[in-house]
Copies of this chain bind each other. A is one copy, B any other.
Amino acid sequence: MNSDLKTLLTGVRDGTVSVDDALLQLKMAPFADIGYAKVDLHRKTRQGAAEVIYGAGKTPAQIVGILDQMCAAGQKTVLITRLSPESAAAVRAVCPLDYRPEARAALFGPMPDPTGIGTVVVATGGTSDLPVAEEAALTAEVHGSRVVRLYDVGVSGLHRLLAHLDELMSASVVIAIAGMEGALASVIGGLVDCPVIAVPTSVGYGASFGGLSALLSMLNACAAGISVVNIDNGFGAGFLASRINHMEAKK
């Protein structure tokens, strides 16, 4: 942003940009205002990464409108998260979508080829954590990461987790997803030496209090190298994992 500012200021000095145009550009450039939303168009399309639409609370018509803006801006691949089957069907009537019900998400455009440092491992404590896990996995994939899924490897049956030590130890990032007591993040954090992103889920009942138990547990994880995202936030974890998986030296 700062370098854009310098370019702009230089343009003003050189007379190639008028003062009012500069002010206008500062206001108008980075997004398209389509009434119900300001579509953000200023992010670089580095790494073949997809743009993302948060589908919850948007009508199919609004989603199509935002998709149009993005396509017009040259975006090849768009991920739509938190999309119900009904909304997906309505959007698909207008433009082609690859809907993934297990992730409650849809893909518009081609899946990019995987790049990055290594693989992102997505591990879950139980089978009920699957929707969050698939959202995380799909998000990492559309942002250019290869993903390995290790589902139902909760700590109450430690052998199931230990049987996958190879995959875990060769990951560049691990996303540890669990509800209930959320111990998976701690145990994985003690086994690997890469960053671990913990995702508490709202799976459970009683004293799980909608994911609070897993959230607190993960925040208190004794192993180093662990950080936490919001309850059920598979997208956030997948996005961050892929970002870390694409770390490269800044010149």
Contact = CB atoms under 8 A, between A and B. Distances in A.
Interface of A: 1-3, 5-6, 9-10, 12-13, 15, 18-19, 22-23, 26-31, 36-38, 40, 42-44, 52, 56-58, 117-119, 125-128, 130, 151-160, 162-166, 169-172, 179-183, 185-187, 189-191, 193-195, 197, 200, 202-233, 235-237, 239-240, 243-245, 247-250
A158 B190 contact: yes
A164 B27 contact: yes
A209 B190 CA distance: 23
A227 B225 contact: no
A186 to B, nearest CB: 5
Contact of A30 (B27, B160, B183, B187): B160
A181 B6 CA distance: 31
Copies in the complex: 8
A169 B30 contact: no
A217 B181 contact: yes
Contacts of A240: 195, 224-227
B1 A165 contact: yes
Contacts of A169: 1-3
B2 A165 contact: yes
Given A155-B155, A156-B186, A230 B247 contact: no
Contacts of A208: 216, 220, 230
A177 B227 CA distance: 14
Contact of A212 (B160, B204, B216, B229): B216
A15 B19 CA distance: 12
A5 B212 CA distance: 37
Nearest to A238: B224
B207 A219 contact: yes
